[in-house]
Chains A and B, each alone.
Chain A
Amino acid sequence: DTAVSQTPKYLVTQMGNDKSIKCEQNLGHDTMYWYKQDSKKFLKIMFSYNNKELIINETVPNRFSPKSPDKAHLNLHINSLELGDSAVYFCASSQTAYSRSSSYNSPLHFGNGTRLTVT
């Protein structure tokens, strides 16, 4: 099936540890994103990558380091985990479309999330 898949689905770890979340999309999209959803369900953009290049970094602490080895993958590594990092992290993708005067992205396709719990 064509989809955005992320692993693991659940991640429980202790403060101070380092962990990674992986994301892959087989939709052929050129842009990938990481979003964080807090306990109040507010969905906030963290990063976006277009063709493996970082485009948006929404003032995320540098303990978070995204890596895009190719257009189909965007992984998220988190160092020195803190209690406040507990949340659901969503990967998403979209395709850039270009008109004569501008560009825009197609709607987002989301993965099913990774629930990170830091104890």
Chain B
Amino acid sequence: TQLLEQSPQFLSIQEGENLTVYCNSSSVFSSLQWYRQEPGEGPVLLVTVVTGGEVKKLKRLTFQFGDARKDSSLHITAAQPGDTGLYLCSPRTGTYKYIFGTGTRLKVLA
């Protein structure tokens, strides 16, 4: 069973702070996606990264895929309460099967 560790598991910060969350594995992946899940809802796709070393920006969110395509990070600049949620990484492991990391629960306090 492939294991995707996300860290930290929980993070509570003040509005305006910066943060980085990580997704690590011992396996190599062809691509990786990040989702955000808000309470009472299903996960929603934020971004897909495909190439080793790739960096993608989505407003205040910066996503990076590791050079070896085994890990990824998500950096949020000047966090806002609307960023609160569960962040999940999900690599492509094969057709018809998406697995998910252990998740990072982020709470941004106003």
Contact = CB atoms under 8 A, between A and B. Distances in A.
* A and B: bona fide binding partners: yes
A92 B42 contact: yes
Contacts, number: 59
B44 interface: yes
B42 A31 contact: no
Interface residues of B, number: 24
B11 interface: no
Contact of A104 (B41, B42, B88, B92): B92
A78 interface: no
Given A43-B88, A56-B96, A108 B103 contact: no
Given A43-B43, A90-B42, A107 B95 contact: no
Contacts of A103: 95
A112 interface: yes
A112 B42 contact: yes
Nearest to B47: A107
A45 B98 contact: yes
Contact of B44 (A31, A44, A48, A110): A110
Contacts of B105: 41
A108 B98 contact: yes
B102 A42 contact: yes
A111 B37 CA distance: 11
Interface of B: 30, 33, 35, 37, 40-45, 48, 86, 88, 90, 92, 95-100, 102-103, 105
